[in-house]
Structure 1
Amino acid sequence: MDKRLLVLILSSLLLSGCWDELLFKDVTIVPLAGMEGGDDDVHMTFAFPVFDGNQIKFSTSKGKGNSMKEAQMNANYSTKEALNLSKMEVLLVSEEMARDDLYQYLDNVYRAPRNRLQSYMALVEGDIQTYFNPSGDLQGEVSNYYTELLLTGKIYTYFPPANLQRAGTLLLENTQDLALPYLRIDEEGLPQLVGVGLFSGKDFTGHVLERREAMLATLLSGEKGKFTRFSYKLENDEKENELTFDVLKVKDNWDILNDRIIIRMKLKATMEAFPDYHHNTQAVEKQLSEKLTKDFNDVVGKMQEAKSDMIGLGRKVQAFHPEIWNRGRWQDTFSELPITVEAELTFRDLGILE
């Protein structure tokens, strides 16, 4: 019995270890990557930290090939170690590349078992190289800038979840379309989040919802962030003042009847700034409800124009209304349906003064 136990213990030592071990000291970790180009001509740019004396600086490496994987392999020739995307935080994609079947370029990185699926994704306007070396003062490292910029956008409901996993899923989905944060270089040379780019199927449509529109669309999609803050100008005693409020809770109810879709949005909010309004809250609520109703409907109209169902209406139609779903390609059907949004806003409280 003792011999058997000894043999078992010794055998277990031979089985220990990890056959697919990957040491970070043998690879170059890439926190930021960018992709541009087109069919059989994919250009990749990778930003990664390097040690320069006692300082850490960011260097870039470029590669091109028929696919993202081949471009990455070719970029390895200009680095000391192989580039590794397992810790990638942000992937930037040229809007021109995204116009023609984005998934074909993402397939390799989406299915690779080591890659981080929670990496942020964003569309960029113009030459992608300017986003790796912007002329403005980033006040920090370039990869950290984009990570913090997109994290802030997510927290403040500027866009729905925009990571590699969600993008790969929705690009293959036929009941909901993808929407990605859209970046642009401002006059000071700094990359700024200006809204969301709308997809129809696997293609970027070229339509961009500006920031307020993107926030409203994100609320319609049921993807509210931690904060959702709006400012509206209201009339009060023949004066026009600006009121700022934060949406605390959203409850929606969707009715589909006789090919007509009605989305009822009930928003609970609190005032952040309320000059001369706290004595007549009902009138304020009425004005804001009317303005929100108009803005919600304008946003839905822009989504229909782009044939982009980023709010996931197709999922409800497919599940409960097959007679509508079976008419043809959902994006075409979505663009033609009469859709109305009715918004009702009420304030939960008025702050410590009340």
Structure 2
Amino acid sequence: MFPSQKKIIVFLLISSLFLSGCWDQRMYKDLSVISVVGIDGHVGDIRGHYAYPSSNSDPTKYIVLEGIGKTMRESRIDANKKTEQTMDVAELTTILVNEESAKKDLYALMDVYYRSAQSPMNAKVVITKGSAKKFLEIKDTMSKEIGEYYFDLITAFEDATIYPKTNLEIAANLMFSEGRDLGLPYLNTSEDKGLPEGEGMALFNGKKYTGEHLTLRESIFATLLGYRKANFVELAYMWDKDDKKAQVAFNIINFKKKKKVLKDGNNIKIQYEIDMPVFITEYPPDHLDRKNVRQQLEKFIKGRVEKDIARMFKKSQDASSDVVGIGEDIRAYHPQLWREGKWKGIYKDIKIETKVNVNVVRSGSTR
């Protein structure tokens, strides 16, 4: 063996002594791996609820620890005293925040997660109608691990273009944004089984929940106008046609939007023009091979969509919540209209008009 080879072997043997393990290694058997956190109360009087699996063989079984404190960190310390293991949030998927708690300062409640290197920034942030605790009391109806359940639930809404993609990181950016406000999933529980169900988008003004939320349909148009179409968009209406009710359902194939900003003195007007080809998925009256029938249907869809968009903007403006991000475009492309610190005052009073061009391009396998 050559001397140089001996030196290499000795070097490798010595180096291996320093590779015995990671300095921050944590064993799962010593941890209570928290997958969902619920928050009730305000800074000064907080109740934190921490859900983690209680069975290795059955992921649907879990325990909820409750901690009380003046801060989120203190409530977590209190909850940690009630388990024989150390609580760990490295696999946190969802943070559920009581709507009343979010009205004061959402960021103050989230700060403990932003300051921890172990917190996953892709965790979903959700606003709940009423106590967050009741959203963790659904053990008898669970079909999967609770953290996976909530993550998949919100992801399904995002795929359907009901909510824009959101997580801890995105929420923090929007809470400090001057040109766009945060919109978060707003969940209620069903009356029969108490299961979580989407009720719309919670509207924020800065770090505070305004107390107002969009409906699911209005949330779709806020997402389409403020972000983009995700995997698919499905809509359904009832049409009082010829003294009869007709079901109209369709998928939006594409959603192209153009925006103009017009100024007349101190008055600002925003004009949207939208091209929206659709695929009809339900229409019992049929005969969509006839041009006049298609045109009537297109006119109906156009009218209903324009009304829904108008309602969405009115709610957003009344709540001083620019979830569509009009302010971003004003600041970037019309700096002469941007008044530092005064955008929200201007936003509430601007006139917004929308013109939708609907084109039925597919009508299914029947006429």
Name the TM-score, length of structure 1 as normaliser. 0.93
Q: Which residue of 2 aligns with 1:243?
A: 248
Alpha carbons of 1:139 and 1:10: their partners in 2 closer, same or farther (altered >3 Å)? Answer: closer
Displacement of 1:176 in angstroms is 0.8
Partner of 1:81: 85
Q: CA RMSD in A?
A: 2.1
Give the match for residue 162 of structure 1: 166
Asked whether the equivalents of residues 202 and 209 of structure 2 are also in contact (C-alpha less than 8 Å), the reply is yes
1:115 is displaced (CA, Å) by 1.3
Structure 2 equivalent of residue 290 of structure 1: 303
1:64 aligned onto 2:73: no
Matched residue of 1:51: which SS? coil
Question: 2:41 maps to what in 1?
Answer: 37
Name the residue aligned to 1:106.
110
- Asked if structure 1 preserves the Cα contact closer than 8 Å seen for 2:217 and 2:308, the reply is no
Task: Report the CA distance shift for 1:20/1:141 in structure 2 as closer, same or farther (over 3 A).
Answer: closer
Q: Secondary structure, in 3 states, of the residue corresponding to 1:176?
A: coil
Secondary structure of the corresponding residue to residue 348 of structure 2: helix
Closer, same or farther: CA 267–42 of 1 in aligned 2, 3 Å: same
Which residue identity does 2:137 align to in structure 1?
A: N
**Counterpart selection for 2:358 from 328, 345, 350:** 345
Work out the CA distance in 2 between the residues paired with 1:151 and 1:6.
Answer: 52
Once residues 15 and 139 of structure 2 are traced to their aligned partners in structure 1, the CA distance between those partners, rounded to angstroms, is: 58
Contact 1:136–1:190 at 8 Å: present in 2 too?
no
Number of the residue aligned with 1:14: 17
Percent identity reads 28
Query: Residue 307 in 1 paired to residue 314 in 2?
Result: no
The separation in 2 between residues aligned to 1:323 and 1:193, in whole angstroms, is 40
Counterpart in the other structure of 2:270: 261
Cα pair 2:43 2:108 within 8 Å, conserved: no
Instruction: State the TM-score, normalizing by the size of structure 2.
Output: 0.89
Specify every segment of 5 or more residues in structure 2 that has no aligned partner in the other structure, as ranges.
none
Query: Which residue of 185, 196, 201 corresponds with 1:196?
Result: 201
Separation (CA, whole Å) in 2 of partners of 1:4 and 1:113? 39
Q: Secondary structure at the match of 2:245?
A: strand
Q: Partners of 1:337 and 1:328 in 2: how far apart?
A: 16
1:4 to 3, 7, 27: 7
Contact 1:36–1:42 (CA<8 Å) still a contact in 2?
yes
Q: 2:40 touches 2:133 (CA, 8 Å); kept in 1?
A: no
Number of equivalenced pairs: 353
Amino acid paired to 1:116: P
Residues 260 and 136 of structure 1: CA distance in aligned 2, closer, same or farther (over 3 Å): farther
Verify the 8 A CA contact 1:196 1:209 in the aligned structure 2: yes
Alpha-carbon displacement from aligned partner over 1:119-160 (angstroms, at most 9, x marks no partner) = 111111112222211498445554444333323222222222
Deviation at 1:180, TM superposition (A): 0.9
Which segment drifts farther, 41-50 or 130-139?
A: 130-139
Distance 1:308 1:170 in 2: 11
CA distance in 2, matches of 1:147, 1:3: 54
AA of the residue aligned to 1:93: V
Moved more, 267-276 or 201-210: 267-276
For the residues of structure 1 that align with 2:300 and 2:279, how far apart are their CA atoms? 15
Q: Distance in 2 between matches of 1:126 and 1:65?
A: 20
Deviations 1:66-97 (A, max 9, x none): 32222212211111211111111111001111
Q: Would you say the 8 A contact 1:317–1:325 is kept in 2?
A: yes
Q: Which of 98, 104, 120 matches 1:94?
A: 98
Q: CA deviation at 1:252?
A: 0.9
Please name the residue that 2:128 is paired with: 124
